[in-house]
Each structure stands twice: as C-alpha cells, then as structure tokens.
Chains A and B, each alone.
Chain A
Amino acid sequence: MAKFRKGGGRKLGAISTASLPDIVFMLLFFFMTTTTMKEVTLKVDQKMPEATELTKMEKKSLVKYLYIGTPKKEFRKAFGTGSRIQLDDAFANDPSEVEEYISRQRASMKEADQGQMIVSLKIDKDTKMGIITDVKQALRNAYALKISYTATQKVNNY
C-alpha cells in the first residue's frame, strides 16, 4: 500500500513562461495569415447545399457575392419570412435591383479584371427556384455570366 506523504513534500519549481510569447506569436501568425475579414454582415439565415464537383475560388478580388435566404429573426417583422435577396448590407426589394448592383460592383473593379468577374451565389438550400431564376435572368441581363453556386463539400458519395 502506498502511503500518503504528509506535508513538506518536494517543492515544485515554477514553470518557466519565457516561451509563452513565442507560442502565442506562432498562433497569432497562423490566424493572421488564414484570416479573411467578413465581407458583410449577413442579414439572412443560410444553410449551404451540398455538392461534390466544387472549385475553389482562387482570386478573391474577382469574386462578388450575392446572398439569398430567409431574413434573420430580428428582421422578420419588417421583411417577412419569405426568401429575400441581400446585396451588400441591405435587402433588395426586387430581383431587378441585382442588375444595378452588378454594374456598381463592376465599376469598382480594376478595368483588366472586369471581364473575369465571378458572382458567387450564396443561397439557402431550401430556397425555391423562382426567385433564383429571376436573379439569374438579372445576372444575364447585366452580363455577369460567370457564376458559382456556393456549396459545401459532400463527404460520402451516397
């Protein structure tokens, strides 16, 4: 049987914290390099659909975003529970506003990049196609033809 040693045991030396800053700096650099600031505050609830054939967006400066989903709780009183389009920080009242939004976005890009613009559609998976079709028509009219349906990678292939 082991005996408990009473009091006056070995004294533990203080752990040296001299390397703590180094460790923290390492973490700091990791997060600094991987971070991307949020483009906008989301006003709609979204769950991305799943797909397998995905491409990663390489150049962030070429990608413009467009969000569709049901308004978050705090906006439901004013905007209802139907699917809404969010452009920048505001809700769009009509899909035709997308056209103007795209031309504004295009004007803010470098001239050489304008032709390569990709519109990333971040759409909730339960949205009905009606509103999406309207948005797609608006994108066509604005000549924003390269689009990307944002989705999450499906893990298992049924």
Chain B
Amino acid sequence: MGKKREVQEINASSMADIAFLLLIFFLVTTSMATDKGLLRVLPAPMPKDQEIVDDNVKIKERNILQILVNSNDELMVNGQPMEISKLREKAKEFIVNPSNSEELPEKEIINVDYYGNVGVTKSHVISLLNDRGTSYQVYLSVQNELVAAYNELRDEMCKKKLSMSLEDLASSKDEKDKDKYDVLTKKVYPMKISEAEPKSYGKEGGN
C-alpha cells in the first residue's frame, strides 16, 4: 500500500445552521394532525320522479323517538321539552326498553353469534328534525349524544359478553373480532337515526 494520505476533515460547523433552517421551515408549515370528526352516513338521494310517500304513517308511535330542535336551540323530545344533558339517558332507555314497557319500542329476543340471546328493538327509529335557524353546535351536540348512547350500550354489551371494551374490539386486527364488531353494530345495536327534511319555523338569523 502507498503512503497514507491525510484526509482533510470537512468543516461541519455550518451543519447546525442548515438544520436550523430546515427546522424553522417545518415548524412554520406544520399543523399537527388533529383532524377528528363525528362520522355519519347520509341517506341516498330520493329518485326525482318518485312520489313522496309519507312513510311515517306506517311506523307505530311507540317505535319513534322524535327529537325536535327549534331556532332558539331548544329541544323537544316526544312532545316534552328536555335538556341536552338528559338526552343520552333517554335515548338509551328508548333503544333498550329495559322494562319491556308498552310505551317504548317493541322488543324481541333474537339469537346472534357470539352474544347469545339478546333483546333487541328492531323497529325503533330516532327521528331528528331541526330548524334552519338551529345553531350547528347544538345540532352536533344532539347528534353526539345519540351516537354516544349507542356507543355506551355497545360498550356495556361488549364488557358483559366478551369482557373487553368496545374500543379494543373496534381497533382489533383479528378477523374474528372484526366479525364480532360487525354483529354488534349491525344486529344487536344498529344505529337508526333518521333526519327529516328540515322545515323553517322561525326566522333564520345571520345569513
């Protein structure tokens, strides 16, 4: 081998400056990924040529939980004024019908995989009607309470029958768990929130 040549060291003192420059660029452009939202599915549009049939007539009164929100952001549930904070309990009672009451939806016992015999109120419907003047925050709070009611019920069922929380079940990668989750959300406690076409009762502010 030849003589060992001395390799000159690269001056690295400007490295910090370069890194700082990049750092500042990313600091400025960054926005933490905080996009969270309440997921909902809209109903498919009605065919235009179809006659509008008032199908509310066919549903028995005991199977409907009617929620009205007026332009003053006040709530009316089945004809009774109510606070938003009480809506969750009311919805849960309505969905489950624990006492098998005549006033609440018809209950029937079905046998499903994983969960055994469970009582479900198949034909219950939560109907939500808001005014054009309702504020978005209140509308979302009502939606949130209803979704929360379903989620709490599902969670209770999960803990009772599978001894795991809903969160664990939903995030599980296991195929069987996914199936269990599907059965729970589609057969045991399917979400039935229907939104009626809005009507304008009060004056619409703002716009």
Contacts and interface: CB of A to CB of B under 8 A. Distances in A.
Interface in B36-77: 36-45
Interface stretch (B95-103, B110-118, B125-133, B156-164): B125-133
A126 B138 CA distance: 9
Q: Which secondary structure dominates chain A's binding surface?
A: mixed
Contact of B207 (A31, A38, A83, A124): A83
Interface stretch (A3-11, A86-94, A105-113, A148-156): A148-156
B10 interface: no
A34 B31 CA distance: 8
Contacts of B27: 31
A128 B134 contact: yes
Interface string A19-50: 01100110110011011111000000000011
Contacts of B85: 158
Nearest to A69: B136
Given A24-B19, A128-B206, A141-B45, A151 B36 contact: yes
Contacts of B36: 54-57, 150-153
Contacts of A73: none
A49 B132 contact: no
Given A34-B33, A54-B38, 16 more contacts: A27-B23, A34-B32, A38-B31, A49-B137, A83-B206, A118-B39, A127-B136, A128-B133, A128-B204, A128-B206, A129-B132, A130-B133, A131-B207, A143-B44, A149-B40, A150-B37
B35 A28 contact: no
A123 interface: yes
Given A31-B30, A55-B37, A129-B131, A49 B42 contact: no
A76 interface: no
A105 to B, nearest CB: 16
A127 B138 CA distance: 10
Interface centre among B31, B38, B205, B207 (most CB of A within 10 A): B38
